[in-house]
Structure 1
Amino acid sequence: MGHTYKALIKNYRYISNLDYRIIHKNTCILVSVIIPVYNEKPNLSRLLPYLHKIGKGHDFEIIISTGACTEDYSECGHGMDDVVVLCNGKKGRAHQMNDGATVAKGNILAFLHADVIPPKTFFSDIQKTIQSGFDAGFFSYRFDTDSFLLRINASFTKKDGIFTGGGDQCLFIKKSVFEKLEGFDGNQVLMEDFEFFKRMKSAGARYTIIDNDLVVSARKYKHNSYVRVNLSNFLLVVLFKMGFAPKKLKSLHNRLLRLDYQNPPT
């Protein structure tokens, strides 16, 4: 399958002002929020302060995994004692998230996109879910644009179904379970989240969907169209389930959708 999570990560630059001298009690749940980024500095400038605001009273760390993006993130989280910036130069969100998980100190990993805003009870929701006996979980979401059609899309995230497991739902999982599953498949250059979820379900991991909405950016719809994005998503999910090669899925995705919002002007 080509998983790369177990491989030792040697070629990365680790910038951290995190104090790891934390005394962990047996009942402590430390959440490592891993944020894979590609030219996301404007979104991070909003997300990081918000995470610190809602994280008061909780044990957490934030790992920004930059991969092969073109922006300099070395100053992100400046003055924040629990932010790590991980620069490894690898392409692909699967590699970014795996590398973040490798250096994570938490016993719970939460994979959050930079353009997604969690609910105020984000950390307590995760803690309660894990303490209830689940191995993993996801959140429902709504879009940051009020639209009848987008509300229809968002409604599907509240229940288990064909689209469950997408990255915007913010997978959180016990690190021990993530390691047993050998992390994300580094060869899965698109839909790595669905591929991981497929293996997670096959392994019998207990999971749930928290009906407490994240707020997800609708920028993909703004730069394309509702019909175009939905048809693209449906086609890619079907082809993935039929076993199409990841690189072919990635090529098709890039032809179907405009992705210029991922390359902001400098």
Structure 2
Amino acid sequence: MISIVIPAHNERQNLLHLLPSLELNSNGIVFEVIVVLSCDSMDGSENLEVSSHISFVRCKDRGRAVQMNTGAALAKGTILAFLHADVKPPKTFLCDIENALRGKYEAGFFSYQFDKKSFLLNINASFTGKDGIFTGGGDQCLFIERSTFDLLGKFNKRQILMEDFEFFKRMKKNHIPYTIVNSDLIVSARKYESNSYLRVNLTNLLLVILFKMGLPSHRLKFVHNALLNRDYQHKP
């Protein structure tokens, strides 16, 4: 079974489209979905009518790492996939995950495109199809063998920003074999709509550099919130 863990904060509208699409494109693969709501999500997402293999749980503590660990702890599958609520997976999503983990790999990510077409956004997306400095971001949907995830100690709940990059850092340190599946996810461009293209990219680059230099996560969050408009902030 593949367990899809979706951390969400006031994402009802996105979940309305995402959850049915996962069922529609399951291709006979057994899977479950655990939507983990932040402690202060207030849009009634848990009241959506869904099938029996989709469940909702609300976190008591803040932090996306906490949300994803909570979902993983409840998961019944031998494979975990961490999918953002505003990301649309391809029709071959579950098949791609199964195929990628049949061989020598224990984990993987997806390439992606944005839901808004522009030359500059296409440049950004082109980097996600190959390994590089930005590999490991949450929008790329980490999927991983459950045993490997547990061995690495799960997500660091003290990492309040860039928890995905911190986990990927441990993956590389422990020489976990991973791949990048070139079957594009469709990622929301909403952060680029609330901020300029240049501001978002410079902020992302600065955060990656500061993270690699060892800046604590609370300082990273301060930098992030200071540089990006409040219309789009990192949600718990």
SS at match of 1:199: helix
| Aligned 1:1-266 pairs, distance under 5 A | 30-71=1-42, 72-76=44-48, 78-261=49-232
Unaligned runs of 5+ in 2: none
Q: Deviations over 1:168-200 (max 9, x none)?
A: 000000000000011000000000000000001
Structure of greater Rg: 1
Distance in 2 separating the partners of 1:208 and 1:169: 11
State the AA in 2 paired with 1:74.
E
SS at match of 1:74: helix
Distance in 1 separating the partners of 2:23 and 2:92: 12
Once the two structures are TM-superposed, the CA of residue 73 in structure 1 deviates from its matched residue by: 2.6
Q: Deviations over 1:6-44 (max 9, x none)?
A: xxxxxxxxxxxxxxxxxxxxxxxx100000001111110
User: Could you tell me whether the CA contact under 8 Å between 2:46 and 2:56 is conserved in 1?
Assistant: yes
Distance in 2 separating the partners of 1:248 and 1:129: 36
Once the two structures are TM-superposed, the CA of residue 68 in structure 1 deviates from its matched residue by: 1.8
Moved over 6 A (4+): none
- For normalisation by structure 1, the TM-score amounts to 0.85
User: Could you tell me whether the CA contact under 8 Å between 2:199 and 2:228 is conserved in 1?
Assistant: yes
SS at match of 1:183: coil
Once the two structures are TM-superposed, the CA of residue 55 in structure 1 deviates from its matched residue by: 1.1
Distance in 2 separating the partners of 1:133 and 1:53: 29
User: Could you tell me whether the CA contact under 8 Å between 1:74 and 1:85 is conserved in 2?
Assistant: yes
Identity %: 55
Q: Deviations over 1:205-224 (max 9, x none)?
A: 11000011000000000000
Once the two structures are TM-superposed, the CA of residue 84 in structure 1 deviates from its matched residue by: 1.0
SS at match of 2:45: coil
Distance in 2 separating the partners of 1:219 and 1:246: 23
Structure 2 CA distance for partners of 1:259 and 1:35, relative to 1, 3 Å: farther
Unaligned runs of 5+ in 1: 1-29
State the AA in 2 paired with 1:69.
D
Structure 2 CA distance for partners of 1:229 and 1:262, relative to 1, 3 Å: closer
Residue 22 of structure 1 corresponds to: none
- For normalisation by structure 2, the TM-score amounts to 0.96
Once the two structures are TM-superposed, the CA of residue 255 in structure 1 deviates from its matched residue by: 1.1
Q: Deviations over 1:113-159 (max 9, x none)?
A: 00000011000000001112210000000000000000000000010
State the AA in 1 paired with 2:170.
R
Pairs aligned (count): 233
User: Could you tell me whether the CA contact under 8 Å between 2:78 and 2:147 is conserved in 1?
Assistant: yes
State the AA in 2 paired with 1:175.
R
Distance in 2 separating the partners of 1:127 and 1:104: 17
RMSD over aligned CA atoms reads 1.2
State the AA in 2 paired with 1:48.
L
SS at match of 2:110: strand
User: Could you tell me whether the CA contact under 8 Å between 1:39 and 1:262 is conserved in 2?
Assistant: no
Distance in 1 separating the partners of 2:186 and 2:46: 26
